[in-house]
Every structure is written in structure tokens, then in C-alpha cells.
């Protein structure tokens, strides 16, 4: 559930709608710079009061680090983020080529074989319908990323039932409905729906790979720890693609919280924290890092990760999707109330 992916005509490229504590020598200047990243804001005056307005965001972000809630990224089959400009240019070229072929076909049919005109009209209608269906699935992804399950379900369910939509698009819509089920606390229903949808997906698609990490998170949230562990182990090592690797980290660490252990070394943990610091939506990963540091008795590092997490965006309804992590957070905050106190600015 860590990352949204957007779907487009090309199966290879789809948007899928982001150190330790002060005094620790492991923290570099780059770590502190990453921690200082904030969303762009514009200040306006309202009745003598200043209000910060977040600059409106496009649906497609240029990278995983920059993607905010409600934004999607193009993800290739290898799990790497693709440049949205190149993907759009390729889509435009494909549509232009298709339009040119259709124009020639309709012209020839009109002059020599009029019976073929309905065929070309049906073909054009199917393409338009597919484009609209994909757009609704993408909008559903964005709504669910913002925690709006009602809107996400309303957008995805009609596509999942649409006989005229391509089978792949219907399956992707069904996966969005499964995610809505999960956010609404219907984990068993979401799990069944996800498994049924995945059975109809091609293993070549990146969404097929994502679905396993979603299943691991669902099983963990449902308390079915042994099943989650078996599924994670069956996935093999950590993927190399950025988005798949991030999804693996979240699933592995979420399961680690439920199991009470995480078998990664300090360097790997620090690398994951650095990634969380670089992301606009890095809250979930940083909170998981805070848990891991606390488990190792490194409470200064845990406090640093915790505070940085609270300044970033995260998954909606984490109390439903990661109940074990929320239970730890509640207890840890009770034992460390200083986490709610602001940290004095350091002298530069």
C-alpha cells in the first residue's frame, strides 16, 4: 500500500495516485539538508492573519521523492520511476499514429467499402472508452491516496464492472476497490478481492508485483503473521527498482513490528531512513525506522526519525493499515512524552 501507480496505454510505463539524532556522527550535512525539505508554500494574508497555502499539485509527479499525497508516478515493469514527459510524448505519438491510420481507413471505407465504417466507429469508440476508464482508475488512485474511500470506490467500481473496458483495466480498478476495502477496515474482504484480481493479471505487469506487498501488509494487519512471513520470504531478495524496493521495505518492516524483530544491519537501516527523509510522503518509512532504532536501544535516533516523520505526509488510516505500528507508537509516546515537545533550532 505504499505506493500509487498510474496506468496508461503503454504496459511498460505506468504511474503507480515520500540519520540519527543530533550529535550522532552518522548524520551528514546531506541528511540534515534532506530533513529540511518542505512542500512549496505561498503565504497569503486573511484578515490580518497569515495562512500558508500549498501550491496546487499536478496528478503526475516527476519522482518518488517529490510525489505527495494524491499524486502518482509512472512506473515501468522494472519498478523504476519513468520521466513523465517522455511517457506523455510517447502516448501522444501513439495516439497520432492511431488517429492517422483510422482517418485513412475511414476514407477508404467511405469511397470503396462503406460496410467497414461501423467497424472503424466501434474501434474508435473502444479506444475512447479505454482512455476514459484509465482516467477514472487514476483518479480513484489519487482519491484513495488522500484517504477518500467513498470517492475512490465510486470511481473504481463502475470500471471494474464495465463490460466494454479492457480486461486489464477492469482488474486494476478491482485492485483500487480492494484498497478501499482495506482502508475501511474490511481486511478479509480486501484480501480475497486482491487475490482474485491478481489471478487475472499478467505477471509481467508491475501491478502484479505490487499486489504481493499489498497482500503482506494486509496479512500483517489481520494478525496472520506466519502467512505474511511465508509470502515475504517467497518473494526473494530486495528488488532493485526504486518503487518496488520501497514497497518491499515497508512490507518487511511492518511485518517486523508485528514479529518484534527486524534482521537488517545498521547501514541498511540508515539507508532506509535517508530515503524517508528525502520523500514528501516519507512518514510511514520514518516511523518504521523510529521503531527499529528504539528496538536497538538507540532512542536519540528513534526520536529524530519520529520528529521528522511528523513533518511529512503518510498513508491514510494507518491505525487500520498498520495497527501494530500504531500500538507501538502509543506506548512509546507514553514512555517518551518529550517527543511532543518542539526541538530548539540549532545554531548554524
Q: What is the pLDDT of residue 25?
A: 39
Structural element, H or E, at residue 54: strand 49-54
Indicate whether 340 pLDDT > 70.
yes
Per CATH, which fold does 13-18+59-340 belong to? 1.25.40
Residue 123 is classified by DSSP as H
pLDDT number for residue 59? 78
Write out pLDDT tens, residues 202-246. Answer: 999 999 999 999 999 999 999 999 999 999 999 999 999 999 999
pLDDT at position 44 is 43
Confidence of residue 344 (pLDDT cuts 50, 70, 90): low
Band (pLDDT 50/70/90 cuts) for residue 117 is low
Residue-level pLDDT at 88: 76
Contact 204, 238 (CB under 8 A): no
* Gap between the Cα atoms of 48 and 70, Å rounded: 31
Percentage of the chain modeled with pLDDT above 70: 76
Question: What separation in angstroms does the CA of 259 have from each of 28, 87, 225, 237?
Answer: 31, 41, 7, 19
pLDDT over 90 (residue 26): no
pLDDT at 39 over 70: no
pLDDT digits (tens, 9 = 90+) for 50-60: 454 444 667 78
pLDDT above 50: residue 30: no
Query: Contact, 255 vs 228, CB < 8 A?
Result: yes
What local confidence, expressed as pLDDT, does residue 348 receive?
45
So what's the pLDDT on residue 118?
74
**9-23: buried (b, 16+ CB within 10 Å) or exposed (e) per residue?**
beebbbbbbbbbbee
Mean pLDDT of 301-330: 95
pLDDT higher than threshold 80 for residue 256? yes
H or E stretch at 15:
strand 13-15
Provide the residue ranges of all domains of the chain, joining segments of one domain with +: 13-18+59-340
Whether residue 20 is predicted with pLDDT greater than 50 in this model: the reply is no
Segment 177-198 shows an average pLDDT of 96
Report DSSP letters for 143-188, one per residue: HHHTT-HHHHHHHHHHHHH-TTS-HHHHHHHHHHHHHHHHHTT-HH
Contacts 24+ apart (CB under 8 A), 218-221: 218/182, 218/187, 218/190, 218/191, 218/194, 219/191, 220/251, 220/254, 220/255, 220/258, 220/322, 220/324, 221/182, 221/187, 221/320, 221/321, 221/322, 221/323, 221/324
Compute the average pLDDT of residues 299-318.
Answer: 95
Instruction: Specify the 3-state DSSP secondary structure of 341.
Output: coil
Q: Determine the average pLDDT of the residues in 18-47.
A: 42
In percent, the amount of the chain with pLDDT more than 90 equals 56
Mean pLDDT to the nearest integer, 38-46: 42
pLDDT at 69 over 90: no
pLDDT score of 10: 45
- Answer yes or no: is pLDDT of 197 > 90: yes
Rg of the chain's alpha carbons, rounded to an integer?
A: 23
Amino acid at each position: 500500500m505504499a505506493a500509487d501507480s498510474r496506468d496508461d496505454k503503454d504496459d511498460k510505463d505506468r504511474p503507480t495516485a515520500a540519520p540519527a539524532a543530533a550529535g550522532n556522527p552518522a548524520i551528514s550535512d546531506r541528511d540534515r539538508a534532506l530533513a529540511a525539505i518542505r512542500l512549496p508554500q505561498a503565504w497569503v494574508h486573511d484578515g490580518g492573519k497569515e495562512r500558508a497555502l500549498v501550491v496546487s499539485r499536478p496528478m503526475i509527479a516527476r519522482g518518488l521523492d517529490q510525489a505527495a499525497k494524491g499524486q502518482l508516478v509512472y512506473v515501468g515493469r522494472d519498478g523504476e520511476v519513468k520521466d513523465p514527459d517522455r511517457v506523455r510524448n510517447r502516448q501522444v505519438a501513439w495516439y497520432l499514429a492511431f488517429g492517422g491510420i483510422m482517418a485513412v481507413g475511414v476514407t477508404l471505407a467511405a469511397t470503396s467499402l462503406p460496410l467497414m465504417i461501423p467497424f472503424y466507429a466501434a474501434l474508435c469508440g473502444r479506444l475512447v472508452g479505454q482512455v476514459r476508464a484509465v482516467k477514472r482508475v487514476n483518479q480513484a488512485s489519487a482519491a484513495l491516496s488522500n484517504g477518500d474511500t467513498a470517492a475512490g470506490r465510486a470511481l473504481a467500481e463502475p470500471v471494474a464492472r464495465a463490460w466494454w473496458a479492457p480486461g486489464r483495466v477492469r482488474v486494476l480498478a478491482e485492485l483500487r476497490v480492494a484498497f478501499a476495502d482495506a482502508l475501511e477496515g474490511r481486511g478479509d474482504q480486501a484480501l480475497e478481492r486482491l487475490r482474485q484480481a491478481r489471478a487475472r493479471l499478467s505477471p509481467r505487469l508491475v501491478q502484479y508485483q505490487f499486489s504481493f506487498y499489498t497482500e503482506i501488509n494486509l496479512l500483517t494487519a489481520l494478525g496472520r503473521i506466519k502467512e505474511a512471513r511465508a509470502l515475504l520470504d517467497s518473494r526473494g531478495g530486495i528488488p532493485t527498482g526504486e518503487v518496488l524496493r520501497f514497497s518491499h521495505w515497508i512490507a518487511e518492516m511492518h511485518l517486523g513490528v508485528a514479529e518484534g524483530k527486524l534482521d537488517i544491519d545498521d547501514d541498511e537501516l540508515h539507508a532506509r531512513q535517508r530515503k524517508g527523509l528525502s520523500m514528501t510522503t516519507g512518514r510511514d518509512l520514518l516511523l518504521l525506522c523510529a521503531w527499529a532504532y528504539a528496538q536497538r536501544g538507540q532512542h536519540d535516533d528513534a526520536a529524530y526519525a519520529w520528529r521528522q516523520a511528523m513533518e511529512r505526509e503518510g498513508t491514510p488510516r494507518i491505525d487500520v493499515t498498520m495497527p501494530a505500528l500504531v500500538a507501538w507508537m502509543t506506548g512509546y509516546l507514553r514512555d517518551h512524552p518529550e517527543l511532543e515537545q518542539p526541538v530548539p533550532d540549532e545554531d548554524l
